[in-house]
Structure 1
């Protein structure tokens, strides 16, 4: 590990202490986790503390950990993952935080700290159903106004629930139940057991 990475890990421990619930280093990238109730406070310290100075939120996305390993995240399903950049200290950090409730996943908004979080959080809401408390304009971003469900959830059907088409008699676009048959999208692999790789 480089001296710069060691310095970042030491600074994180000094500034955040027990607010960090998990810390990993892989491929010279640091990932930390915190509790949902500490999320906003941790982000504020990451931005404002002189030892960290993460001025930029590069990305924020939702993740659905349903069926991800055997109990690897204590049964928690929805998480938000943030990527931060400190331009002044030339360092990067990843933060993961899990929403406590699978049925009503909710976390604090980061729009007050980094305005760029606005559309990132709208995307996470639209695609995963993660709600962001005190968000100024939390509405769908990528799906249609009447869309039902959240298409990136692992339990959302791959063929969707409704389809739209133009109806020439009504002279407008209409929505109807999906007419596509359920199908297996896993390719079948055919091997000739007697063949040799040459």
Structure 2
């Protein structure tokens, strides 16, 4: 089996832009990687085209995650808060693509599921739902996958408290697991700064 030579990022950018046409919200090359942004309205159609178009042929979705941009780089973020980021791989053409889609509603983030296009999206989308609260419309089994079924909130959101909302413990008298409000006092942790002169000149 021969492996196709990797396509130049600028050539891939142009091929993807040509295949998607007006479905492209933005596309560019950063640090040698092509990143495409599409609107939520065009998301599924764009992803299907990326899978099937001869110049794209992204047969595999190798990762999908959520993002919360509300405190991005410690600056004021302008735009939608929640984003879904997918990493696509074309084995046959030896090329990779990052795809971003922003949720239209910050209070109830929803995007379409692509689990019908790539089976691998099923668990990834459940993880993004669990950790960020992003709902994937059309997903056949959208349940929490990492946290407990009784877990409150979504722990990767930037406004989720470090100590959480509830704690779980085993009650000897009731002989079962119980949930109760967090009893840990919140505290600020300031990292200790280690300076070069503390090493006594050792290099």
Same fold judged by TM-score > 0.5?
Answer: yes
SS in 1 for 2:11: helix
Structure 1 residue 188: Cα displacement: 4.2
Point out the more displaced range, 57-66 or 17-26. 17-26
Q: Give structure 2 stretches of 5+ with no counterpart.
A: 1-5
SS in 1 for 2:41: helix
Counterpart residue number, 1:15: 19
Structure 1 residue 99: Cα displacement: 0.2
User: Within the alignment, does 1:186 sit opposite 2:193 as a pair?
Assistant: no
Structure 1 residue 49: Cα displacement: 0.2
State which of 87, 94, 100 in structure 2 corresponds to 1:96: 100
The one-character-per-residue Cα deviations of 1:66-109 (angstroms, maximum 9, x if unpaired) are 1215455x331000000000000000000011001000100000
State which of 30, 33, 46 in structure 2 corresponds to 1:29: 33
The one-character-per-residue Cα deviations of 1:103-143 (angstroms, maximum 9, x if unpaired) are 01000000110011111000000110000111101111111
Point out the more displaced range, 179-188 or 111-120. 179-188
Counterpart residue number, 1:177: 181
Q: Give structure 1 stretches of 5+ with no counterpart.
A: none
Aligned residues, how many?
195
Counterpart residue number, 1:160: 164
The normalised TM-score by structure 1 is 0.91
State the alpha-carbon separation in 2 of the partners of residues 131 and 47 from structure 1: 23
Counterpart residue number, 2:115: 111
State the alpha-carbon separation in 1 of the partners of residues 125 and 147 from structure 2: 14
State the alpha-carbon separation in 1 of the partners of residues 16 and 100 from structure 2: 14
The 3 A distance-change label for structure 1 pair 128 and 190 is same
State the alpha-carbon separation in 1 of the partners of residues 62 and 114 from structure 2: 12
Asked if 1 retains the 8 angstrom alpha-carbon contact of 2:63 and 2:124, the reply is: yes
SS in 1 for 2:27: strand
State the alpha-carbon separation in 2 of the partners of residues 186 and 56 from structure 1: 42
The one-character-per-residue Cα deviations of 1:154-174 (angstroms, maximum 9, x if unpaired) are 101011111111111222211
The 3 A distance-change label for structure 1 pair 98 and 186 is farther
State the alpha-carbon separation in 2 of the partners of residues 96 and 123 from structure 1: 17
SS in 2 for 1:45: helix
**Structure 1 segment 57-96 matched on structure 2, within 5 A:** 57-69=61-73, 70-72=75-77, 74-96=78-100
